[in-house]
Amino acid sequence: MRLKGKVSLITGAGSGIGRATALLFAREGALVVAADRDAQQAEKTQKLIEQEGGQCEAKCIDVSQEEQVAAVIATVVKTWGQLDVLCNNAGISLLKPVTTTTEAEWDKVFNVNLKGVFFGCKHAIPQMAKQGNGAIVNTASELAIVAQPLYGAYCATKAGVLALTRVLALEWAAKGIQINAVCPGPIATPMLQAEFDLADDPINEEKLAIKSIPAGRLGTPEDIAKVALFLASEDAQFVHGAAIVADGGKTIF
Ligand code: NAD
């Protein structure tokens, strides 16, 4: 019960890494607010948690809309009196050469992946500062650190998430707020499957991805949820501005 009594808000909690994180946090005693732009999937996460005897409330928000992020955080604080953990996890990918990426496509991936993290931090930090404690876990990517063809816009957003994480960690460490990032490698989620499905031979694409991972397998959403749990917990009280890579060794290969 490493998050007993903690109030947590997880974005992108309707699928993949976000849902696994929501389930794990609830098992560890947290009250979970599962936010996603897909209301049905957020509600499914709520049901899964309730079936296990945990506490969860689904919220439908688009993290790229500041007023929606601000409103959900205000509601959490009004309802439960505190916000202990924020996981800025919602994200989208774009596989396209930069030379054919439209301005609208570039803006969309930045609005969700980077501006969404900015809005979450901007509106959660004042409350955490008031409390004198709090933890923010931003989902970046191994692609914040290494390059991969066709991921120009995506890599740029995730590198931005790491830079923002470090600046905020510096600014708020003395106020008791832990702000860190997790950098997942290829994780078996609907997002990664959709990327494989863009290839002529998706099964071969998956095999190639696995070949690039020394651990010999794709990560699971639970692999990342466990890192998020550590960063959200008091075990990480002296961890500030870290980027924990969880990629089966891919980036050292
Ligand atoms: P996923 O597609 O399974 O889940 C993402 C969730 O975010 C979905 O439920 C989606 O509805 C939600 N979402 C998307 N845009 C949103 C918005 N504007 N507002 C609110 N919710 C929104 O993807 P995943 O693989 O679980 O990815 C989670 C995070 O992990 C993302 O930030 C992604 O970039 C990052 N990541 C994933 C991988 C991987 O291989 N799967 C690797 C590195 C980083």
Domain containing 141 — which CATH number? 3.40.50.720
Pocket of ligand 1 contains residue 21 by CB under 6 Å: no
Asked, for residue 163, whether it belongs to a domain, the answer is: yes
Asked, for residue 195, whether it belongs to a domain, the answer is: no
Other Cβ atoms less than 10 A from the Cβ of 174: the count is 8
Q: Are 15 and 93 in contact (CB under 8 A)?
A: no
The residue from 110, 118, 119, 154 that is catalytic is 154
Beta strand extents in the chain (DSSP E only): 7-11, 31-36, 55-60, 85-88, 134-139, 177-184, 243-246
What is the reported pLDDT for 168? 99
Span from the CA of 174 to the centroid of ligand 1 (angstroms): 31
What is the reported pLDDT for 57? 98
pTM of the model: 0.99
What is the reported pLDDT for 154? 98
Pocket of ligand 1 contains residue 36 by CB under 6 Å: yes
Asked, for residue 202, whether it belongs to a domain, the answer is: no
Domain containing 59: what range? 7-185+223-246
What is the reported pLDDT for 55? 98
> Residue 95, exposed/middle/buried by CB under 10 A (0-12, 13-18, 19+)?
middle
Query: What is the number of domains present in the chain?
Result: 1
Asked, for residue 16, whether it belongs to a domain, the answer is: yes
Which portions of the chain are predicted below pLDDT 50? none
Q: Are 219 and 184 in contact (CB under 8 A)?
A: yes
Q: Which run of H or of E encompasses 205?
A: helix 202-211
Asked, for residue 201, whether it belongs to a domain, the answer is: no
What angle in degrees, to the nearest 10, is found between the helix axes of 103-110 and 152-172?
30
Span from the CA of 139 to the centroid of ligand 1 (angstroms): 9
Pocket of ligand 1 contains residue 12 by CB under 6 Å: yes
Atom of ligand 1 nearest to the CA of 154: 34
- CA–CA dist 57, 63 (Å, integer): 17
Q: Among 81, 70, 88, which Cα is nearest to 31's? A: 81
What is the reported pLDDT for 253? 83
Asked, for residue 113, whether it belongs to a domain, the answer is: yes
Q: Are 161 and 181 in contact (CB under 8 A)?
A: yes
Span from the CA of 146 to the centroid of ligand 1 (angstroms): 19
Q: Is 154 a catalytic residue?
A: yes
Pocket of ligand 1 contains residue 222 by CB under 6 Å: no
Asked, for residue 96, whether it belongs to a domain, the answer is: yes
Pocket of ligand 1 contains residue 136 by CB under 6 Å: no
Asked, for residue 41, whether it belongs to a domain, the answer is: yes
Q: Among 149, 141, 156, 143, which Cα is nearest to 111's? A: 156
